Amino acid sequence: MSSKTYTVAVVGATGAVGEAMLSILAERKFPVGTLHALASERSAGEKVAFGSQKLVVQDLATFDPAGVDIALFSAGGSVSKEYAPRFAAAGAVVIDNSSAFRYDDDVPLVVAEVNPEQVANRPRGIIANPNCSTMQMLVALAPIHRAAGIERINVATYQSVSGAGRTAMEELGRQTAAMLNFQPHEPAKFPVQIAFNLIPQIDEFMDNGYTREEMKLVWETRKILGDDAIQVNPTAVRVPVFFGHSEAVHLETRRKLTAGEARELLEAAPGVEVVDEREPGGYPTPVTHAAGADPVYVGRIREDLSHPRGLDLWIVADNIRKGAALNAVQVAELVVKARS
């Protein structure tokens, strides 16, 4: 990486993803010269950690983006729609974690290990980060698609509450404590109880009966892999886990790929760690592997008994780190590398 330093802004610095972005920028020794931590007016004046430093959070609404080289946004779609174009117009490369620009033809949708070349294709100065569930799935599936071509993906996701923000984590904690103490509890963040329960709805329902979270898997998979012929059949479920999304993925490839061949491809794939011992505990879980870690973990690799070119995988990753913050920083590193 270049010895040059960059002026970086993190928008949404007080949120879970924003805090992770600050932590990862420091961990990976990103060449930061000046760092601006930005959030809404109500958070202005708070302090956030950046390595050994404490940064005072500034009000996004009154901040002048002139001189910012790279802006990492994780403050929601409405904030991104309003402010990301302002930062881009001022000369910053914007890396946006919301869904605001993901489906625009002139905004690249980038997973660092999958389609890094798309970073250069940013006519509006904006690069979009995919949805967390799509992100981890494609880190694992891209090498298989390149080797054998994927025709169809059946996927059921088991998504932790941190994907719905800090208030969702607090609700799971409150409900769990209340139930264990035989106290009454009412849902607020979720439509029904989340503690000791599964909720087969993430985001709003659409006219076709799928939720928006499920359709993100369809739209984003095709855009990132550059193949509109891939069929995706998703079900997205919220589960009472704090950190880490899991996915049961069933693939149908164009060319027959054995489980052994798939395992070799995955073991060589960047960002992937294979945990696939056929014994109790020999598979990845959100708690034992993913939470707080960077890799996408893959296990339960086997051939589909019901399809001649089918493969089954179990994919687990930390949705806050790889699913959001880490990929944004990796994309920023690609931008810096291209400039050096």
Angstrom distance (rounded) from CA 145 to CA 45: 47
Question: Was 319 annotated as part of a binding site?
Answer: yes
Question: Was 14 annotated as part of a binding site?
Answer: yes
Question: Was 163 annotated as part of a binding site?
Answer: yes
Question: Was 258 annotated as part of a binding site?
Answer: no
Of residues 263, 318, 249, 311, the one with CA closest to residue 290: 318
Question: Was 133 annotated as part of a binding site?
Answer: no
Question: Was 238 annotated as part of a binding site?
Answer: yes
Question: Was 3 annotated as part of a binding site?
Answer: no
- Helices 132-148 and 259-268 pack at an angle, to 10 degrees, of 120
Q: Tell me which of 36, 132, 145, 289 is the catalytic residue.
A: 132
Neighbours of 108 (CB within 10 A): 24
Of residues 197, 232, 196, the one with CA closest to residue 213: 232
Burial (CB count <10 Å: 0-12, 13-18, 19+), residue 166:
middle
What secondary structure does DSSP assign to 225-279, as a single string?
A: HT-TT-EEEEEEEE-S-SS-EEEEEEEEESS---HHHHHHHHHHSTTEEE---SS
245 assigned to active site: yes
Question: Was 181 annotated as part of a binding site?
Answer: no
Q: Tell me which of 245, 250, 289, 307 is the catalytic residue.
A: 245
Angstrom distance (rounded) from CA 305 to CA 312: 9
Of residues 321, 313, 153, 142, the one with CA closest to residue 235: 153
Question: Was 232 annotated as part of a binding site?
Answer: no
Cβ atoms of 265 and 153 closer than 8 Å: no
245-253 and 272-274 strand pairing: unpaired
Question: Was 43 annotated as part of a binding site?
Answer: yes
φ, ψ of residue 99 to 5 degrees: the values are -90, 5
Q: Which residues, 6 or more positions from 224, have their beta carbon under 8 angstroms from its beta carbon?
A: 109, 110, 111, 114, 115, 130, 134, 138
Question: Was 99 annotated as part of a binding site?
Answer: no
Which tokens is 321 given? 């780190």
Binding-site sequence positions for substrate: 159, 238
Binding-site sequence positions: 14-17, 42-43, 102, 159, 162-163, 238, 319
Binding-site sequence positions for NADP(+): 14-17, 42-43, 162-163, 319
Binding-site sequence positions for phosphate: 102
**What are the catalytic residues?**
132, 245
